[in-house]
Amino acid sequence: MIDLGVSIAGIDLENPFVLASGILDENGYTLVEVLRSGASAVVTKSIGLEERKGYIPPVVYELPYGLLNAIGLSNPGIEHYSHEISIAIREKKPIIGSVFGSTPEEFAHLSSRMEDFGVSAVELNLSCPHVKGYGQEVGSDPNLVRDIVRSVKRKVDVPVFAKLSPNVSDIQAIAEAAIDADGFTLINTVKAMKIDIYARQPVLSNVYGGLSGSAIKPVGIRYVYEIASNFDRPIFGVGGITTAEDAVEYIMAGASAVQVGTAVARVGKRVFNKLISEMRDFMEREGFSKIGDMKGVALRR
């Protein structure tokens, strides 16, 4: 009997495949469809205090090996977003509320409202690479990260995940600062850009964006491995997972579960059912009966 169930920071998931933040998670009815397509949980779009329109398109650029985006943290503001969660929550699967802010107080308030709306966990966006004053700018300062995580932990009872950026010189220092979190989400997108040589200018209106997809998987694997080797916290692995083999690689590097984003754009929502059946096949072939049996097996202790 193959059991795909996992538990991460006390949250039980029917399989290890969770929708990553920022993909198809603005509209509650879309979250419902994603959950019905096999995702065991969803992470919401990152939500802030106030309504934000985001950047003027172009906000995405497709590459053969990945996707570049700078949506610009568009969101309706935390109070308006409650309605979307109320729609998605009827599916009775875990919703993880992603929040972004610039101060510990903002993060604590947003997380607390997410908890009021009924989320199973919150994920702190300490890593968006393309909005000034938020995300990575906040997440690169260990002292600020420490204060943010502590403020949130004091305010909410649900598990707290810190989503960290690969765009820092010393991720271990940031992970150490965020150690009060119940878990880590690794990694956010890699800061990158694209120039159209015929237009002779950057394609994204924000110039810089975040690279996701297959191109960043080796980077994600390395960060998960490094953090799993040095910290005793559960990890959501994210970055370039399109097949069950990609997910297994993250799990063997130490992730408890994984998040899927860009593959949803490439394959569609059916990617979740595809991952589930591929994972069953892999485990059967390789003689694993539980996801947990694969966790961290590649780590050199």
Partner 1 sequence: MVWVPGVGEIPLSLSTIKGRRKSITVKRYGIVSQALLKYKPGDRIFLRGPYGTGFTLTEERNLIIGGGSGMAALRPLINDKSFGMVSAKTGDELLFTHEFKENSIMIMTDDGSSGLKGFPSDYLESVDIDQFARIYACGPELMLKALYHKLKDSRPDAEFSMERIMKCGIGICDSCSIDGRQICVDGPVVRVGEINPDGEFGHQKLDISGRRIEIHL
Residues known to be catalytic? 128
What binding mask, one character per residue, do residues 200-239 give for partner 1 by CB under 8 A, x or -? -x-x-x----------------------------------
Q: Pick from 3, 49, 58, 278: which binds partner 1 (CB under 8 A)?
A: 58
As a whole number of angstroms, the distance between CA 238 and CA 106 comes to 25
Please, which of residues 80-109 interact with partner 1 by CB under 8 A?
80-81, 83-84
For the bound state, the minimum distance from the C-beta of residue 5 to partner 1, rounded and expressed in Å, comes to 25
Q: What does the block give as tokens for 145?
A: 């990260």
**Of these, 56, 173, 297, 299, which contacts partner 1 (CB under 8 A)?**
56
Instruction: Tell me whether residue 56 or residue 173 sits nearer to partner 1 (CB atom).
Output: 56
Q: Give bridge partners of residue 11 from the DSSP assignment.
A: 8
The structure tokens 């994603």 sit at 34
Which residues ranging from 243 to 282 are in contact with partner 1 (CB under 8 A)? 261-262, 264-265, 268
Residue 37 or 151 having the CB closest to partner 1: 37
Tell me the residue type at 161: F
Contact between 170 and partner 1 by CB under 8 A: the answer reads no
Name, in order, each residue with C-beta under 8 angstroms of 158's C-beta and a sequence gap of 6 or more.
114, 115, 119, 120, 121, 122
Does residue 24 bind partner 1 (CB under 8 A)?
A: yes
In the list 1, 53, 133, 169, the residue contacting partner 1 (rule: CB under 8 A) is 53
Helices and strands, number each (H, E), in the chain: 10, 16
* 193 lines the binding site for partner 1 (CB under 8 A): no
The residue ranges of DSSP E strands in 27-149, in sequence order, are 41-43, 60-63, 66-69, 95-99, 121-125
Strand partners, 68: 61, 211
Helix then strand then coil, in percent of the chain rounded to 5, is 40, 20, 40
φ and ψ of 125, to 5 deg? -80, 95
Q: Does 45 bind partner 1 (CB under 8 A)?
A: yes
Q: Give phi and psi for 283, each to the nearest 5.
A: -65, -40
Bridge-based pairing of strands 160-163 and 183-186 is parallel
**Residue 52, interface with partner 1 (CB under 8 A)?**
yes
- Closer residue to partner 1, CB minimum distance, 40 or 69: 69
Please calculate the CA angle 255-105-76 and round it to the nearest 5 degrees: 75
Give the residue with the Cβ less far from partner 1, 5 or 57. Answer: 57
Whichever of 59 and 294 has its CB closer to partner 1, that residue is: 59
Which positions lie near partner 1, rule CB under 8 A?
22-27, 29-30, 32-34, 45, 51-54, 56-60, 62, 67, 69, 71, 74-77, 80-81, 83-84, 196, 198-199, 201, 203, 205, 261-262, 264-265, 268
